[in-house]
Chain A
Amino acid sequence: MRTLLDASSRVWGEQHVARTGAVLAGLLCAAPMLGLDQYALHLCALVFVYAALGLGLNVVIGLAGLLDLGYVGFYAVGAYGYALLARMGVSFLPALIIAATVACSIGVVLGWPTIRTRGDYLALVTLGFGEMIRIVVRNWYSVTNGPQGLMNIPPPSLSSFRIERPLGFYYLGLALAALAVTVFWRLKQSSVGRCLAAIGDDEDAAAACGVAPVKWKLYAFAIGAGLAGMAGVFFASWQRFVSPESFTLNESILIVCIVVLGGMGKTWPTVAAAAFLVLLPEALRGLENYRALVLGCLLIGVVLGQTRLARDASVDEGKDSEGLSIEESLTESSESAESSVQDTTAVIQAPGVLIRVANLAKSFGGVKALEDVSFEVRRTEVVGIIGSNGAGKTTLFSCLSGAMFSDRGSVMLCDGESTRPLVRSQGPDVRAHLGLVRTFQQPRVFRSLTTLGNIQVGALCGAPPPIWEPLLRRKDQSPEQLRELALAVGCPSLDTLGFEMGFLEQKLTELARALATGSKLLLLDEPAAGLAPESRHRMARLIRKMNDEGLTLLVIEHDVDFLLSICTRFLVMQEGHLIADGAPQQEAVQRAVRDTYGYGVTHVA
């Protein structure tokens, strides 16, 4: 099964998009010379429209992971927009630009409030919006002429050249599809595309390394809406008639079907799926009624099939990760990392408080997860946090990183001379930009990105790509530096996809990603949990090395020995309270650790 997946990914290899595209475009340009009849030209144009719609929606679903069931609404806006503008005498190109911009803006306006809702809720909100657009179009007689629709829409004209024959629409449609392929492919290749993929894979993890989820989701929404608007313009100018019946929920579902069948985030398969689903009813001619039925079965079948494939793949991967040699990943470790604890004590004298937490409190219902927690962390300190399960350690991290908001208390981040409190509106992405970056207890890598891709997303923190970035032909910035980072951390390979990674590889990738953000204070949540003893030593060496290079760390861990090898100060938590704070040798800390785990910090005494 795995080889099948590999083979198919090679055949549809996204790296050959440009070459395949050029060949395909050449063939399609020449195709009409072979004597396609009017009907074939008509079908081709239809395929082009749906290819454009499928790719547009794939930006939203496949790249950004937002299930949009109201996509056809933007198609309708484009179609009606052109119909109205053209009947007012606006010529084709300006009308195209205006209609696409309007669709784009409506995408942003509708997206702004909705995008905060998650997953399946978003799907139903967008479904609601799609239906709202249709109901308004159906009933707004003075503008849209209600259910009868608008007729006699002028055909497209470029100065004196008018497109009226099917051949003209064939080429216009081809241009539209080519535009969609280009936009989609450029977007995928760009840093923006990586941001979208990161959000689609794991929104919380993306925010934790500095990707602003709302901004990029809106961006995907706007691009998708713009492409749908253009497709709508083409459709209206081609059919010369628009009515609400062309924009029903079934149409949205057909486009979702194209994306699902073609595959999330895939370029050519989406085009192929569009062709298949448009031509299918032609093959089933005489059985028109069965079209939707077949579509529904296909939708179920494809989802079931993909789920089974994914399950088989992950079973294979389980086998693979067994074989991952830890030895191998250990060899990279640089000798300088073998620094002793004394070095760490030396830097601890470096003055300056980096973060000051005062009276932090957080409760869930009746459970007080944090109660009056206050402490400071100085620059280049490594502080260990100890406490039994449910002591509030992870909640503390969530409050620091902005994933949750504390009920009371404050967190001050000292940046150079200025000290400013972190406020509620600063979510995880903003805090990551300020230098507060966390990892997760269960490693959360971006499943659809490679090791290097994961690290590249981290590296975008602090310098998010401009929104026009996909338009520029620019090579990836500083991959060399990031490669070195990955090597230093010990990632065994740069181009393993996230979902193929074993546990250790996920942990290392997540760590490398967090380091790439250029954070000032790294919050590590149980970095050694679940690792074999050799890997723990390696992780400890890594942390010491990062610290030597000037990074401040706050580390949650249950393994006291592990913490002893990296930290010079312990915070011990119990039921939301901070019960001890100081060097591990101190009497109070020893007592607190003994209370927590039943054994003391014997090795130091």
Chain B
Amino acid sequence: MTVSILLQQLLNGLTLGCIYGLIALGYTLIFGVMRLIFFAQGDLCMIGAFGAFGAISLFPNGRAFALPIALAGATAAAVAVGVLSQRVAMRPLRSAPRTKQLIASIGVSIVLQNAVLVWVSSQTLVFPTVLPGANWLIDGVTVNPSTPFIVVGAAILMTALEWTLRRTRLGLHLRAVSESPETAELDGISVDGAMTWTFIIGSILAACAGVMLCIHDGVAKYDMGFLPGIKGFTAAIVGGFGRPSGAMLGGILLGIAEGLAAGYISSIYKDLIAFVLLVVVLVARPEGLLPRVSQ
């Protein structure tokens, strides 16, 4: 019995952790390339979730394709909003002090949340079922159909990101800009273009994370992005900022730590884990928990 409780908590933690990991990937990518913390990453998830919501209600008859419709709607909404906020708020601050960038991106976060609150809905909306099937019970461990979707989805996105960064021309450009924007610019790479692409990829990751959050929790609300955003940031820090594989690992680690805390300590203080971890890691090991790779 206790083993199954442990397994259950580990599984729950892994599922949530994959979502945190995806958000962390967005943070890490934008930080890695542009050296700025885009605080509104969690709110892009929320935008994605509402985009999915909108797309599903536009096509009420497409039950069979509910999931692709949701993902497409989420991606479209998040990319549009992500690129727009990049263009308006972040690009002019490209070479400003980082504190200013952070303040501006907090501004973006507030604007996104409250725009949805005022113009869309201030209520908690019940998200329609997009994944068919019932729970499986394996050895006393309940497996929700969302679990394999989230875990496999996160793995696919993670691999796709690594592939893009390592194997494509775009990835080469992004890595060049990450090393030195000035040199990259001299070599004919548009830094503004790289910034736009970074935000597009970051928004896609956020959109997918947003849909996963909705499927996992079954609801959507204008402030649903705040806590996952902080947790995704924590995950990125734990994994060592600027390293994609570290971000995913950090997310899973945080998710599992939360799952165990919820199961064995108290679910009230579950959210405290992320903050404690954030503070402890930033203070004790700001370069992340993974060992440094030497160049």
Contact of A67 among B93, B103, B272, B278 (CB under 8 A): B103
Q: Of A120, A253, A256, which is within 8 A of B98 by CB?
A: A120
Say whether A304 contacts B92, CB under 8 Å.
yes
A289 and B118 in contact, given A120-B37, A124-B233, A307-B93 (Cβ under 8 angstroms): yes
* A121, A253, A306: the one within 8 Å of B110 (CB): A253
| A67 / chain B contacts, CB cutoff of 8 Å | 99, 102-103
Which of B89, B103, B117, B279 meets A114, CB within 8 Å? B279
Q: B295: which A residues are within 8 A, CB to CB?
A: 365-366
Interface of B is mostly: helix
| CB nearest neighbor in B for A306 | B100
Say whether, besides A128-B278, A135-B272, A304 and B93 are in contact (CB < 8 Å).
yes
Which residue of the partner chain, among A121, A131, A132, A300, contacts B111 with CB atoms under 8 Å?
A300
Chain B: minimal CB distance from A4 (Å): 19
With a CB–CB cut-off of 8 A, which chain B residues contact A94? none
A598 at the interface (CB under 8 A from B): no
The interface residues of chain B lying within 8 Å CB-to-CB of A119 are 98-99
In the assembled complex, the CB of B293 is this many whole angstroms from the nearest CB of chain A, namely 9
B3 within 8 A of A: no
Q: A132-B272, A292-B110 are in contact. Are A299 and B103 (CB under 8 A)?
A: yes
Q: Which chain B residues numbered 235 to 272 have a C-beta less than 8 Å away from chain A? A: 237, 268-269, 271-272
- A303 CA to B237 CA in the complex, in Å? 26
* Cα–Cα, bound, A308→B91 (Å): 12
Please indicate the chain A residues that have their CB under 8 angstroms from the CB of B282 in the complex.
114, 117, 121, 124-125
CB distance from A211 to the nearest CB of B (A): 20
Q: Point out the residues of chain A lying under 8 angstroms from B59, CB to CB.
A: none
In the complex, 20 of the A-B residue pairs with CB atoms within 8 angstroms, ordered by the A residue number, are A67-B103, A69-B106, A114-B282, A117-B283, A120-B37, A120-B98, A123-B99, A124-B237, A125-B279, A128-B279, A135-B275, A253-B110, A256-B103, A260-B103, A296-B110, A297-B107, A299-B106, A300-B89, A300-B108, A303-B107
Asked if A295 lies at the interface with its beta carbon under 8 angstroms from chain B, I say yes
Contacts of A307 in B (CB 8 A): 92-93, 96, 100
Which residue of chain A has its CB nearest to the CB of B233?
A124
Docked Cα-Cα span, A117 to B271, in Å, equals 22
Query: Closest 10 CB pairs between A and B?
Result: A296-B110, A299-B107, A296-B111, A300-B107, A293-B114, A128-B275, A292-B114, A365-B294, A303-B104, A113-B283
Contact of B275 among A132, A250, A295 (CB under 8 A): A132
B41 at the interface (CB under 8 A from A): no
Any chain A CB within 8 A of the CB of B276?
yes
Task: List chain A residues, Cβ under 8 A from B122.
Answer: 289
A-B interface contact total, Cβ < 8 Å: 123
Q: Which B residues touch A250, using CB under 8 A? A: 110
Q: Which residues of A sit under 8 angstroms from B272, Cβ to Cβ?
A: 132, 135-136
Q: Beyond A299-B110, A300-B104, A304-B89: 18 further Cβ-contacts under 8 Å?
A: A113-B283, A119-B99, A125-B283, A131-B230, A131-B275, A132-B275, A132-B276, A136-B272, A249-B226, A292-B114, A293-B110, A293-B114, A296-B114, A297-B111, A299-B107, A303-B103, A304-B93, A307-B96
B156 at interface by CB-CB < 8 Å: no
Q: A139 to B266, alpha carbons, bound, how many Å?
A: 11
* Residues of B close to A299: CB separation below 8 A: 103-104, 106-107, 110
Residue of A nearest to B284 (CB): A113
Nearest-CB distance from A143 to chain B (Å)?
15
Query: Within 8 Å of chain B (Cβ to Cβ): is A599?
Result: no
What is the bound-complex CA distance between A135 and B274, given in angstroms?
Answer: 12
CB distance from A307 to the nearest CB of B (A): 5
Shortest Cβ distance from residue B291 to the other chain A in the assembled complex, whole angstroms:
13
Return A261 CB to nearest CB of chain B, in Å: 11
Q: With a CB–CB cut-off of 8 A, which chain B residues contact A296?
A: 107-111, 114
A300 with B88, Cβ < 8 A, contacts A123-B102, A124-B282, A293-B110 known: yes
Contacts of A71 on B, CB cut-off 8 Å? none
Q: A129 interface residue, CB < 8 Å from B?
A: yes
Q: How far is the CA of A260 from the CA of B102 in the complex (A)?
A: 12
Indicate if B54 sits at the interface (CB-CB under 8 A).
Answer: no
Nearest to A133 among chain B residues (CB) is B275
Encode contact with A along B283-295: 1 for CB under 8 Å, 0 otherwise: 1001000000011
Instruction: Name the residue of chain A whose CB is nearest to the CB of B276.
Output: A132
Q: Enumerate chain B residues within 8 angstroms of A117, measured Cβ to Cβ.
A: 282-283, 286
Chain A interfacial positions (CB closer than 8 Å to B): 65, 67, 69, 113-114, 116-117, 119-121, 123-125, 127-129, 131-132, 135-136, 139, 249-250, 253, 256, 260, 289-290, 292-293, 295-300, 303-304, 306-308, 365-366
Q: With a CB–CB cut-off of 8 A, which chain A residues contact B230?
A: 124, 127-128, 131
Cross-chain contact of A303 among B93, B275, B283 (Cβ < 8 A): B93
**Complexed CA–CA distance, A217 and B275 (Å):** 22
A131 — which chain B residues lie within 8 A by C-beta?
230, 271, 275
Inter-chain CA distance A295–B118, complex, in Å, is 14
Query: Is B115 an interface position by the 8 A CB rule?
Result: yes
The answer to whether A114 and B107 have CB atoms under 8 Å apart is no
Q: A303–B118 contact, CB under 8 A? A: no
- Least CB distance from A599 to B in Å reads 30
Q: A129 is contacted by which of B89, B103, B279, B286 (Cβ under 8 Å)?
A: B279
B286 in contact with A121 (CB, 8 Å)? yes
* Cβ of B178 under 8 Å from chain A: no
- Asked if A303 and B110 make an inter-chain contact with CB atoms under 8 angstroms apart, the answer reads no
A65 to B98, CA, bound (A): 12
Q: What's the nearest-Cβ distance from chain A to residue B294, in Å?
A: 4
Give chain B residues whose Cβ lies under 8 Å from the Cβ of A114.
279, 282-283
**Minimal beta-carbon separation of A69 from chain B (angstroms):** 8
Chain A CB within 10 Å, residue with most, of B111, B115, B294, B295: B111
Other-chain residue from A113, A116, A120 in contact with B99 (beta carbon distance below 8 A): A120
B118: nearest residue on chain A (CB-CB)? Answer: A289
In the complex, chain B residues whose CB is within 8 Å of the CB of A365:
294-295
Which residue on A lies nearest to B115, using beta carbons? A293
Q: Cβ of B113 < 8 Å from any Cβ of A?
A: yes
Q: Which residues of B contact A289 (CB under 8 A)?
A: 114, 117-118, 122
Which residues on the A side are within 8 Å of B286 (C-beta)? 117, 121
* Least distance between B123 CB and chain A CB atoms (Å): 13
| Distance A307 CA – B108 CA, assembled complex (angstroms) | 16
Residues of the B chain whose Cβ atoms lie less than 8 Å from the Cβ of A113: 279, 283
Write the nearest CB–CB distance from A318 to chain B, whole angstroms.
Answer: 15
Nearest chain A CB to B172 CB, angstrom units: 23
Contacts of B104 in A (CB 8 A): 299-300, 303-304
CB of A234 to closest CB in B, whole Å: 26
Question: Across the interface, do A292 and B283 meet the contact criterion of CB distance under 8 Å?
Answer: no
Q: Measured between alpha carbons, how far is A228 from B286 in the docked complex, in Å?
A: 29
* B16-28 interface bits toward A, Cβ cutoff 8 Å, 1 = contact, 0 = none: 0000000000000
Chain A residue with the shortest CB-CB distance to B226: A249
Cα-based distance from A190 to B66 in the complex (angstroms)? 65
B contact residues around A298 at 8 Å (CB): 107
B269: chain A residues within 8 A (beta carbon): 135, 139
- Measured between alpha carbons, how far is A194 from B173 in the docked complex, in Å? 43
Closest-by-CB residue of A relative to B36 is A120
A121→B100 CA distance, assembly (Å):
13
* Bound CA span A300–B111, Å: 9
Residues of B within 8 A of A295 (CB): 110
Q: Which residue of A lies closest to B280 (CB)?
A: A113
Chain A residues with CB below 8 A from B107, complex form: 296-300, 303
Distance of A69 Cα from B279 Cα, bound (Å)? 13
Please name all residues of chain B whose beta carbon is closer than 8 Å to the beta carbon of A121 when the two chains form the complex: 237, 282, 286
Contacts of B106 in A (CB 8 A): 69, 253, 256, 299
Q: How far is the CA of A205 from the CA of B114 in the complex (A)?
A: 41
For the complex, what is the distance from the CA of A328 to the CA of B269, rounded to whole Å?
67
Residues in B whose Cβ lies below 8 Å from that of A304: 89, 92-93, 104
Encode B76-104 as 1/0 by CB contact (under 8 A) with A: 00000000000011001100101111111
C-alpha gap A121/B241 in the complex (Å): 11
